[in-house]
Amino acid sequence: MTKLSNESTSQSMNKQNKQSTIKKIIIPVVIIVATYFLYQMIMDNPPETNRGKGGPVAKISVETIALKPQQYSVVVNSFGTVQPRTSSVLVAQVSGEINEISQQFRDGGFFEKGDVLVQLDDRDHRAEVKITQSSLLSAKQALLEEEARAKQALIDWERLGNGAQPNTLVLREPQLAAAQAEVLSAQANLEKAELLLERTKIVAPFAGRVLKKQVDLGRVVTSNTELADIYAIDYVEIRLPINNKDLSFIDLPEEYRSSNNKQQGPSVSITSDLIGKQYWQGEIVRTEGAIDDNSQQLYIVAQIDDPYGVDNKSEVAPIKIGQYVNAEIAGKTIEQALVIPNSSIYQGSYVYIAENINDKTVLQRKEITIRWQNDEDAIIESGLSAGDVLVLTPLGQVSSGTPVEIAGATPPKRKGVNKQKRNANRGTEDRKPRDKKNRNKEGKQ
């Protein structure tokens, strides 16, 4: 009995082991197969979307201008500082105490040529003039006496009657020459004393203005003492640098060795905002003979005549020496020039134009060469031609062929569009009542 029970127990355990082994194999296989069929079902039946179609891409709206050849007058801009035509230092040539000065002898004071600006004490010099006058009179008296002695010597020689020629010592010619020399010396001393007396009056060498006064009343000065800095006021000059690219657009007043005819230079407008808005009209008078070492540019000189006169009187204030000014120089006139604004040029080398291709307005990039350019305009040498439609609107980096819409242009009418819309609306309105009737019938059934 015991043996039979053991055998039955072992058989039941073997059976359970086989069943568990079958389950371990079948269950994963079933899961894999089910997963595969589920994957296939999903792939064969993707979800559908009701997303509508995208609307039409909006076109870029640009402003344009049709290029036309025109007459263009070049204006070259420059700058500089105002300098006097002549400036010098007024110095004393004699010693003495300043006992009188002119009312115009002050900083900024105007004076005319020949005006006495400073008067020195001249009493010593007047005394010296009198001394030299007395010396001259004494020398003249001695000369007269020597001339009389010479004549008497000639008479005495002739009275002897020997017929021989008298020598120079007999005729007292050396003594006569010495007396004449004394007169000349005394006369020179008098002229020198009178000159020193005249120099006690400091006289203006030209019509000008006092830049800086350095002495005043009561000051004792010596020879070569600086009294004031002065400058001439007949005209002022402004040294203007010119860019090398602008030289060919200005008629420069060049001078040549073999020609005495001085060329007339172009006009120039001088402006400044130092004291309000100031304006003067001048002229280019000469071109410097060398290129500046520092800037490697050529300098030209503008001149303003009579800057402090009535005709050049500024509404705000007169021009100042050392004042910074801007200059607009009238250049050459260019015929048939293509002029475009600088704002339409990209990276200094290309522009965009609008062209009509296949009934569409598209952008086209054009490489250009600039002939001349200022802060606002540019004259085109090559790359554009008359009739091209230049795009003025800033675009940045845009590809050629991009469709655009010209601002302000009337869009062309598309035939049939309104009719199709009306038909579509009418069809929609007709369908709505029929659908409602059908739903009512279905409901009744």
Q: Among the listed ranges 212-221, 276-285, 431-440, which one has the minimum average pLDDT value?
A: 431-440
pLDDT for 289 = 87
Confidence at 172, pLDDT banded by 50, 70, 90: confident
> What would the pLDDT profile of 184-215 be if each residue is shown by its tens digit?
999 999 999 999 999 999 999 999 999 999 99
Bridge-based pairing of strands 404-406 and 87-91 is unpaired
Q: State which of 13-27, 53-67, 232-246 shows the largest mean pLDDT.
A: 232-246
Instruction: Indicate the pLDDT class of residue 59, thresholds 50, 70 and 90.
Output: confident
Check if the beta carbon of residue 227 is closer than 8 Å to that of residue 118.
yes
Domain limits of the chain? 1-44, 62-68+338-406, 94-231, 235-332
Topology (CATH level 3) of domain 235-332 = Elongation Factor Tu (Ef-tu); domain 3 (2.40.30)
Contact indicator for 63, 344 with CB cutoff of 8 Å: no
Q: How confident is the model at residue 422 (pLDDT cuts 50, 70, 90)?
A: very low
- The reported pLDDT for the residue numbered 410 is 52
Given this model, what pLDDT does residue 105 score? Answer: 94
Helix (H) or strand (E) holding 352: strand 350-357
Q: Does domain 62-68+338-406 have CATH number 2.40.420?
A: yes
Model confidence pLDDT, tens digit, residues 3-44:
445 556 666 666 666 667 776 777 777 788 778 777 777 777
Q: What is the number of alpha carbons within 13 Å of residue 382 lying toward its C-beta?
A: 1
What integer is the mean pLDDT of 398-415?
A: 70
Compute, in degrees rounded to 10, the torsion defined by CA atoms 433, 436, 437, 438: 120
Task: Please report which helix (H) or strand (E) contains residue 374, including its range.
Answer: none
The better pLDDT of the pair 48, 39 is held by 39
pTM of the model: 0.66
**Fold of the domain built from segment(s) 94-231:** OB fold (Dihydrolipoamide Acetyltransferase, E2P) (2.40.50)
Residues 274-302 pLDDT 10s: 888 889 999 999 999 899 888 899 999 99
Q: What is the CA radius of gyration of the chain?
A: 55
pLDDT at 413 over 70: no
